[in-house]
Amino acid sequence: MPNQPVEISVVVPALNEAVNLPHLVRRIDGALSGRSYEILIVDDASRDDTVPVCAALAKQYPVQLHVRERPTAGLSGAVLHGMERATGEFIAVMDADLQHPPEKLPELIRALISDECDFALGSRYVAGGSTGSGWTLFRRLNSWVATVLARPFTGRVSDPMSGFFALRRSTYEGAQRLTPLGYKIGLELICKCRVKQVKEIPIHFAERTAGESKLSMKQQFKYLEHLSRLYDFCFPRISPMLKFALVTGAVSYTHLRAHETKANLVCRLLLE
């Protein structure tokens, strides 16, 4: 929509997601039909066809490609790069891999417009939410442990790990000392923006159908380091005690990860 102020900025961090981007952009356009929006794709020097694919998309849709030639701070850094350049009153963030449903964007924005919250979150774990059938028992346990470790600063939020969320640009601009690490930028913003009310919107977290997952053991240990920073920020006086508990949890996590294959085998035998 030319000559209209942008209402919604959709920030999409991407790395080698060229095959998914056309599907994602078309679905965002359908979800936000009739509204003024922009899509900021922040690419971390992909080696696929992301650049020509985005150039083609930009001829039909309000797509901007921002390439970080020397990316820092991983996916979180890419998200902040896009948020800094967003012009909309509302900023939404979602992954490029089609696991987050663009059709839920209006519901996230509606929760902000109605002042139900200052942070709207697409949640797998509230009533009506779900995950793909390919999730193993260990992956579910992994998500549960990560959520429990974040509970001191997210309270009763059931899915603070979600990377699908929206907030007002004014809320983002009020953030203090953003120092993200790894993938959990939503958690960083909830803490550093001093979010008072989170509204969880149920979503189906789909299985990836193309491309490769970027989640690794290295990323999961970065999450623990990120938590350490957030404990220092939110609870400077009792942070050492919380970190002791965090280290204990990390040791237990490593032990569980070492036995992932064995646990999955046992589960399959029990279900047969």
CA atoms of 259 and 150, how far apart (whole Å): 24
Can you give the pLDDT at residue 74? 85
CA atoms of 263 and 103, how far apart (whole Å): 36
Higher pLDDT, 93 or 242: 93
Q: What are 53-71's pLDDT values in tens digits? A: 999 999 999 999 999 988 8
What mean pLDDT value characterizes the chain?
84
Can you give the pLDDT at residue 272? 43
At residue 249 the predicted structure's pLDDT band, cuts being 50, 70 and 90, is low
Q: Rounded mean pLDDT of 68-95?
A: 94
212, pLDDT greater than 80: no
Question: Sheet holding 165-168: strands in order across?
Answer: 63-67, 37-43, 8-14, 90-93, 165-168, 119-123, 198-202
Percent of the chain beyond pLDDT 70?
Answer: 78
Residue 167 backbone dihedrals phi, psi, to 5 degrees: -155, 165
Can you give the pLDDT at residue 90? 98
Q: Are strands 130-131 and 204-205 parallel, antiparallel or unpaired?
A: parallel
Can you give the pLDDT at residue 246? 57
Can you give the pLDDT at residue 128? 96
Q: Rounded mean pLDDT of 198-207?
A: 94
Q: For residue 238, how many other CB atoms are within 10 A of its CB?
A: 11
Can you give the pLDDT at residue 238? 59
Can you give the pLDDT at residue 38? 98
